[in-house]
Each structure stands twice: as C-alpha cells, then as structure tokens.
Amino acid sequence: MDYIEIEAKCREEFRDILIAELSELEYEAFMETGDGFIGYIPENGFDPKQLEALFAKYNELAPIAYESRNVKEKNWNEEWEKNYDPVIVDDRCLIRASFHKPARSYPYEIVINPRMSFGTGHHETTWLMAQSLLDIDLHEKNALDIGCGTGILAILASKKGAKWVVAIDNNEWAYHNAVDNAILNGADNIEFKLGTIYETDVASKFDVILANINRNVLLDEMAEYVKYLLPGGSILISGFYVEDEKDMIDLLEPLGFDLQFKKNKNRWSVMCFLKRTGALE
C-alpha cells in the first residue's frame, strides 16, 4: 500500500494539537521534526480538502506550511528503530522501546512501543512529568492519569507502588497502545478508559492526578479534574510554557490548591499543586 506523507512546519505549541487532530483522520504514524512534524496516511484515505480545512482552522492563530508527497509502503517498526532512542530521567528511570537492550542499572525501567501515540519521554513535558513523579510518594495510593497517551506515566506510577491507577485518553489508537504497553511492563493494576473526563465513568477519588495535556485544555477542564482529587492530594500538570504558570496558579488557588513545586526545561513547565484539607468537593 502506498502512503501520502505530509510534512508540516508549525509553531512548537501547536504540534501536539495538530497531531491529535490528524490522528482522528486515519493518519497512521507521526514523526516529530525540529520545526514541525511528518504524518503518514494511506493514499486511498487522503483527502486534501479535509487537510486544508483543518490547517486553515489554526492558520489564524499561527501560520502552518506543509507539503504532501507520495511514498511507498513503510515498515513502521524500522522507522521507529531509526528515530526512537532511549530516554534517561535523572539516572533513575530508563524509558526504552522493546528493540533496545535492557539495562539493570536504573531503579525503574519502562518499555514503550509508541506507534503514533503521544508520550515517549522525549518531549520536555513528558520528561518533566516523569522526573516529578519519581519524587512523589505513590506507595499504596490511587492515581488518575488524564490524557495518558502511551501510558508512560500510568506505568511509572504503577512501578512506584501505586495501589490502583486509572488512565484515560480520548484517542482510540493511544488507548490501545497504552493497554499494550502496560502488558509489556507487567503493570496489571492499571484500568484504561477510552473517552474524555466528561465521557468516562470515573467513579472514585484519587490521591494523585496526572495531566500532561496542553494549556487550553487544562484551563477548560481543570474544574472537572479536581472533583476527583481527595483533600490533601496532589495534582501534577504540564503541557504549557513558563509564561503560563501564573494562569495555572490563578486557576487552581480559588479551587482550594496551593503550589507545592514547579520546574522547567527549555521553557516548558511542570507544576504540582496540593489540595487543601477542607477544600470544596
């Protein structure tokens, strides 16, 4: 089967949003580049007018340039092997694909076969979330991972001793990929759900919530997320820049949260907030 390759150039903060949109349009694989991304779709499923309409929706916010070309069928496993290197987080956690050799010198090791899901440890936000999660006590606690992507953070939470983890994603491909990755890691205490926070049945409250999404989604949905957090619990968030930190503080403080810590890497930020005892449920 031949494919259409789309090479898009866009601002970095729009890359994940555009990839998420394209993943709903039968695109089967994505590769991040220095100034955007490359996406692949079977030739018989490519609709240039649909693509033009999608990019036009975001062009008012930021210019998007793209080219399309025909390519022969690719071996996606080969492509991942060429483009996906292991990730090391603070010499405490190795994130690798199944085709990489294991290394026993790290306290935690996560095996991720990412396919076209989001969250391989390479992006600053995933790295920051993983680093922060390594410093949070999860022993015998329950965790909720919102927008789990490959399942990398849910799996790390499981390996860190969480009693029970619920992980949700509204992308069907990501959902199935996360389930497969959990099996690869023997993380059998993770319950995966397909849908948004509004659509899924999350009939419990949690000690820790993880949300590595993007600024606009966090601002829109945060009030819903925190309903599922126990008083005294922590919410760890990323997917936004350092200059957006004040917006997150202004959003969460009135909801009964205090900033516990924040970190940044290449302008990307991660923040951890603690829910005050007695905060509104």
Q: CATH 3.40.50.150 in the chain, residues?
A: 121-275
CATH annotation of 3-74? 3.30.70
Average pLDDT across each block of 10 residues of the chain; the chain has 281 residues. List them in order: 88 80 79 80 91 88 89 65 79 89 88 68 87 95 94 97 96 87 96 94 92 91 95 95 95 96 93 84 57
pLDDT of residue 131: 97
For the chain, helix, strand, coil in percent to 5 are 35, 30, 35
pLDDT of residue 204: 87
Q: CATH 3.30.70 in the chain, residues?
A: 3-74
Look at the domain 121-275 and name its fold: Rossmann fold (3.40.50)
pLDDT of residue 82: 62
Q: Cα–Cα distance between 84 and 122 in angstroms, integer?
A: 9
Give me the helix-helix angle, 245-252 and 215-225, nearest 10°: 20
Q: Cα–Cα distance between 230 and 242 in angstroms, integer?
A: 27
